[in-house]
Amino acid sequence: MERLNSTIHREIRNEPETRMGRANRVPKKQKKSSFQKFIKSPKGIVFIILALLSYAGTFYPTGLSGLKNIVLAMGTGVLLDYVVAYVMNRPLRFSDGALITGLIIGGVLSPAVSWYYVMFTTIVALLSKHILKDKRKPLFNPAAVGLFISATLFSTGESWWSGLSMTPVWMTAILLVGGFIIVNRINKLPLVFSFLGTYMILFLILGILNISGAGDALRSPYINAALFMSFFMLSDPPTSPAKYREQVIFGFLAALASGAAYLYVSKLTYLLVGLFVANSLKALHSKLTQRNGIRRNALHSR
Amino acid sequence: MSKISPKWMALCSAAIGLTYAAGYVVTEPKTAPVSAATQQVQLKGSTSKNDQQSSSSSSSSQASQSNTKKQANQSSSSSQTQSIYKDGSYSGEGMNRIGSVAVSVTIQKGKIERVQITDCTTSYPERLIDQLPQQVVSRQSSNVDNVSGATESTDNFKTAVMDALSKAKA
């Protein structure tokens, strides 16, 4: 206290600071704008990477028309989140999550899809985020829910053009670099490695067994879709596990379910089916872990 | 939580890359002949179309471009009708980067009687090209209208029909 007082007095008298005083001085915090914070956060990085991929994805004849879908999906998402926040008496904030969901939906839906399907998909996606949740975390990846329901009900085309499925093959390198940056940043590499490893092995085996269509899954646009899905949807932090061991199991199950869906369900939604199965198992696992924890605590308290 | 080490990253990436390459090579022989066949069929189709257009333009040089196209369509359909198709049911496949379309073409009395899409594994829904089989039957030709927003699916369909028709000619 005395030292503090002497420092204050010294400052008032404009006297030079002592060496110890300089060492103990707490650095002044630089105020960062909310935009700067957003850009440096994982969500901000995802946003930038997805925006760059969407831009790169427009380098094909009808690519530019996909951008209008992205703008429409983002606008619808932000507006809907505002409405939900207003109705639920929550503080009105700009929804960065809705921006990312919009970018994913606009980048997956075919540029030829009508505007009302884009809006429908986004609304379903964001409603699922607010309705299907455990505590504050959504159970399923919102974009995946919207895309799956939209594809099942209306057969809306999905070209995964933000996954650079329509551009020359060499551009897939951009997707790989962008995906690696974000997955490494959010520490989900084991999950993605597990998913992609299982996916590749599964379709290699199916190829050896001469199963029809196995080769397609290893070629564009399917492989681009699988990469995009694993980098930006499967690794979504609220809907995927954090521990490495659980990440490996999660990725493995998602790839197995995707493979089964590719063969027996639909080649349009097989990746989304795999993601749902893994999301459901993760939700089930965390519920069981919570219950066991509560029981253990109750036993200890006795 | 500590992050995965660079060595593990490199090892896993290499393992996945190798598995992918192996899968690609293993599945390549199946796709290569089909794509080669479709390319040949496409080449045949395009050359015959060019020939017909040039012949029609030489016969009526003052005709408008739309008329020339119409004549080309008519002549292509008539030439295909005149050409002898063997009766039976033939399958064909068209494939490009967005997936593949398989069709079954039924020939009766040398004419295209029925066209059916038997498989559609493109990223776009099949309903976008649902009207095309009817156009093939009515025009007796694989020369169908381009579907706006599903150009590559249309290309797949055309290639598949041409593939089936080339089998029917053999």
Q: Domain ranges for chain B, please list them.
A: 40-169
Q: Give the lowest-confidence range in A88-92, A115-119, A271-275, B56-60.
A: B56-60
More confident residue, A220 or A97: A97
Note whether B31 contacts A: Cβ–Cβ < 8 A. yes
> Rg (Cα) of chain A, in Å, rounded?
24
Q: CA-CA distance, A115 to A76, in Å (whole number)?
A: 11
Give the up-direction half-sphere exposure of residue B90: CA atoms within 13 A in the CB hemisphere.
23
Task: Give residue B154's pLDDT.
Answer: 84
Confidence band for A224, pLDDT divided at 50, 70 and 90: very high
Task: Give residue A3's pLDDT.
Answer: 52
Contact across the interface for B99 and A166, Cβ inside 8 Å = no
Task: Give residue A18's pLDDT.
Answer: 60
Q: Is residue A300 part of a domain?
A: no
User: What residues 151-170 of chain B have any CB closer than 8 A to a CB of chain A?
Assistant: 151
Contact across the interface for B23 and A204, Cβ inside 8 Å = yes
Task: Give residue A300's pLDDT.
Answer: 73
User: What residues 198-217 of chain A have any CB closer than 8 A to a CB of chain B?
Assistant: 200-201, 203-204, 207-208, 210, 213-216
Q: What amino acid occupies position A61?
A: P
Q: CA-CA distance, B38 to B32, in Å (whole number)?
A: 10
Count how many domains chain A has: 1
Task: Give residue A261's pLDDT.
Answer: 92
Secondary structure of residue B141 in the 3-state scheme: coil
Note whether B123 contacts A: Cβ–Cβ < 8 A. yes
Read off the tokens for A292.
């066991």
Q: Is residue A231 part of a domain?
A: yes
The pair phi, psi for residue A241, each rounded to 5°, is -70, 160
Average confidence (pLDDT) over A12-24: 57
More confident residue, A269 or A1: A269
Nearest to B9 among A189, A215, A243 (CB): A189
Domain with A49 in it: 41-291
Confidence band for A22, pLDDT divided at 50, 70 and 90: low
Q: To the nearest whole angstrom, how far is the Cα of A12 from the nearest Cα of chain B?
A: 46
A230-266 pLDDT, tens per residue?
999 999 999 999 999 999 999 999 999 999 999 888 7
Q: Is residue A246 part of a domain?
A: yes
B66 pLDDT more than 90: no
Share of chain A above pLDDT 70, in %: 88
Contact across the interface for A220 and B97, Cβ inside 8 Å = yes
Secondary structure of residue A89 in the 3-state scheme: coil
Task: Give residue B40's pLDDT.
Answer: 43
Q: Search chain A and give the residue with CA nearest B23.
A: A204
Determine the residue among A200, A206, A227, A265 to mutate to test chain B binding: the one whose Cβ has the most chain B Cβ atoms within 10 Å: A200
Contact across the interface for A215 and B97, Cβ inside 8 Å = no
Average pLDDT, rounded, for chain B: 71
Q: Which residues of A touch B3 (CB under 8 A)?
A: 184, 187, 189
Q: Which residues of B touch A160 (CB under 8 A)?
A: 123
CATH number 3.90.1010.20 given to B40-169: yes
Q: Is A51 exposed, middle or buried (0-12, 13-18, 19+ CB in 10 A)?
A: middle
More confident residue, A214 or A46: A46
Q: Are residues B27 and A218 in contact, defined by beta-carbon separation less than 8 angstroms?
A: yes
Q: To the nearest whole angstrom, how far is the Cα of B103 from the nearest Cα of chain A?
A: 16
Q: What amino acid occupies position A129?
A: K
Q: Are residues B107 and B113 in contact, defined by beta-carbon separation less than 8 angstroms?
A: yes
For chain A, how far is it from start to end, CA to CA, in angstroms? 46
Nearest to A187 among B3, B16, B26 (CB): B3
Note whether A45 contacts B: Cβ–Cβ < 8 A. no
A53-109 pLDDT, tens per residue?
999 988 876 677 789 999 999 999 999 999 999 998 888 888 889 999 999 999 999
Q: CA-CA distance, B83 to A51, in Å (whole number)?
A: 53
A37 pLDDT more than 90: no
B64 pLDDT more than 80: no
Task: Give residue A16's pLDDT.
Answer: 54
Q: Is residue A36 part of a domain?
A: no
Task: Give residue B85's pLDDT.
Answer: 84
Q: To the nearest whole angstrom, how far is the Cα of B2 from the nearest Cα of chain A?
A: 9
B132 pLDDT more than 50: yes
Note whether B7 contacts A: Cβ–Cβ < 8 A. no
> Which residue has 């001469």 as its token pair?
A210
Q: CA-CA distance, B93 to B121, in Å (whole number)?
A: 11
Q: Which residues of B touch A267 (CB under 8 A)?
A: 99, 121
Confidence band for A198, pLDDT divided at 50, 70 and 90: very high
Q: Is residue A285 part of a domain?
A: yes
Task: Give residue B52's pLDDT.
Answer: 40
A274 pLDDT more than 70: yes
Q: What is the pTM for the complete model shown?
A: 0.70
Q: What amino acid occupies position B84?
A: I
Q: Which residues of B touch A220 (CB under 8 A)?
A: 97
A20 pLDDT more than 70: no
Q: CA-CA distance, A101 to A98, in Å (whole number)?
A: 5
Task: Give residue A204's pLDDT.
Answer: 95
Q: CA-CA distance, A191 to A76, in Å (whole number)?
A: 31
Nearest to A157 among B22, B28, B124 (CB): B124
DSSP code of A215? Answer: T
Q: Search chain B and give the residue with CA nearest A200.
A: B20
Nearest to B123 among A187, A193, A221 (CB): A221
Q: Is residue A1 part of a domain?
A: no
Q: Is residue A32 part of a domain?
A: no
B143 pLDDT more than 70: yes
Nearest to B16 by CA among A260, A194, A205: A194
Average confidence (pLDDT) over A10-32: 57
For chain B, how far is it from start to end, CA to CA, in angstroms? 66
Contact across the interface for B123 and A268, Cβ inside 8 Å = yes
Q: Is residue A165 part of a domain?
A: yes
Q: Search chain B and give the residue with CA nearest A111.
A: B149
Task: Give residue B43's pLDDT.
Answer: 38
Q: Give the lowest-confidence range in A111-115, A172-176, B67-71.
A: B67-71
